[in-house]
Amino acid sequence: MHTTSKAESFLTMSIPITDTTAAVTARTRLLRTPGELRIASERWRSSGLSLGMVPTMGALHDGHRSLIRRARAECDRVAVSIFVNPRQFGADEDFARYPRPLERDLAMLAGEGVDAAYVPDAAAMYPRGAATTVSVGSSLTRDFEGETRPGHFDGVALVVAKLLIAARCDRAYFGQKDAQQCAVVRRLAADLDIGTTVVVCPTVRDGDGLALSSRNAYLSPDARRRALAIPRALGEALRRFAAGERRAEVLAALVRDRLEEGDSLRVDYVGVVDADSFEPLTEAGRGARIVVAATIAGTRLIDTVGLGIDEPPDVPSLVGAMVELDARSGRALRSRTCSVR
């Protein structure tokens, strides 16, 4: 499956770049086409400067910021792409309503000292007549996100291949939260001899333990509270692993049971997998990952932890959890537990 035609036509409209944007991006060059990205990259690289690339879909948060800061620390120049890629959304998914706060994003990139914001529109990325597909096979894309979102990884593989080829970057930064995507991108970069080092960065969580995601903005305060079942369940599995449990089936069942308690969310999948191949495991060793996807009031969230690697997320206890939310973004400002009389 590829894009819906509705999605394609929606994004052939350019995202308007206003005067304010130009002012905001005085220190961050705005690049709009693969050609502009290639030229900027060639200039830097011919001056002996290394380039780090951070691919995103915008609606930037502290998870993205952590990737950008890592890139800044390791590379001479940093480019961040913002492109809501229609090819990785299914027909019934949230492509049209995906948040696109471009001005705020560009201000954030300027504040982080990013050298280039690459903001192509769909016509620049997929001009009329574009017919090439990229598909990563094997167990990497068979299950989990691959099964639940048919065609999703073809869209991811195509857009990432295009970004890395145009940028010719030395390093590209991805978040561990999208663990299956990381495994797919690593394979893709190796198989296509792209020559970019894929760097995977730890998941950044909000104060209440929920993994940061642009989609968290969809959650009502009630849905957000229910979503905390995800980091809570993963934390419990980490503790069981630390206490010696190695049976993947038992760890997965524990997570599923916790998520299904109280009917507050719908579980799409729970898996215990090898981090590189995404083959489901029967025996979980150090470095194996638990991957989870669940839908809460229409919002689909994914999360993951590395067994024997990650610390259990710090989640307020079920009873008496007080989470103060930012009214606009839905992000947790602070959380505390309180006694209930």
Residues labelled catalytic:
64
Build a one-symbol-per-residue string for 203-242: x at contacts with ligand AMP by CB under 6 A, - elsewhere.
xx------xxxx----------------------------
The Cα 293–Cα 290 span in angstroms is 10
Q: For strand 289-296 and strand 299-306, is the pairing parallel, antiparallel, or unpaired?
A: antiparallel
Q: Which is nearer to ligand AMP, 65 or 247 (CB)?
A: 65
Q: Which is nearer to ligand AMP, 90 or 175 (CB)?
A: 175
Q: Comparing C-alpha atoms, which of 212, 12, 25, 214 is closest to residue 103?
A: 25
Does 201 sit near ligand AMP (CB under 6 A)?
A: yes
Angle at 2 between CA 201 and CA 212, to 5 degrees: 30
Does 175 sit near ligand AMP (CB under 6 A)?
A: yes
* Window of 39-47, 92-100, 172-180, 289-297 that interacts with ligand AMP by CB under 6 A: 172-180
Does 174 sit near ligand AMP (CB under 6 A)?
A: yes
The Cα 53–Cα 33 span in angstroms is 15
Q: In what order do the strands lie in the sheet with 289-296?
A: 266-273, 289-296, 299-306
Build a one-symbol-per-residue string for 39-58: x at contacts with ligand AMP by CB under 6 A, - elsewhere.
-----------------xx-
Q: Which is nearer to ligand AMP, 153 or 174 (CB)?
A: 174
Q: Which is nearer to ligand AMP, 64 or 87 (CB)?
A: 64
The Cα 35–Cα 44 span in angstroms is 14
Q: Which is nearer to ligand AMP, 141 or 214 (CB)?
A: 214
Q: Report the nearest approach of ligand AMP to the CB of residue 179 (Å).
A: 9
- Alpha-carbon separation of residue 107 from 150, 166, 220 (angstroms): 35, 24, 26
Q: Report the nearest approach of ligand AMP to the CB of residue 259 (Å).
A: 19
CA end-to-end span of the chain, whole Å?
Answer: 53
Does 80 sit near ligand AMP (CB under 6 A)?
A: no
Q: Report the nearest approach of ligand AMP to the CB of residue 246 (Å).
A: 27
Residues binding ligand AMP: what is the number (CB under 6 A)? 17
Does 67 sit near ligand AMP (CB under 6 A)?
A: yes
Build a one-symbol-per-residue string for 129-168: x at contacts with ligand AMP by CB under 6 A, - elsewhere.
----------------------------------------
* Window of 131-139, 142-150, 198-206, 240-248 that interacts with ligand AMP by CB under 6 A: 198-206
Does 177 sit near ligand AMP (CB under 6 A)?
A: yes
* Window of 94-102, 199-207, 260-268, 276-284 that interacts with ligand AMP by CB under 6 A: 199-207
Quote the tokens at residue 140.
């990497």
Q: Which is nearer to ligand AMP, 198 or 254 (CB)?
A: 198
Q: Comparing C-alpha atoms, which of 201, 175, 163 is closest to residue 79?
A: 163
- Alpha-carbon separation of residue 145 from 181, 234, 331 (angstroms): 9, 18, 25
| Contact between 55 and 30 (Cβ < 8 Å) | no
Residues that bind ligand AMP (CB under 6 A): 56-57, 63-64, 66-67, 174-175, 177-178, 201, 203-204, 211-214
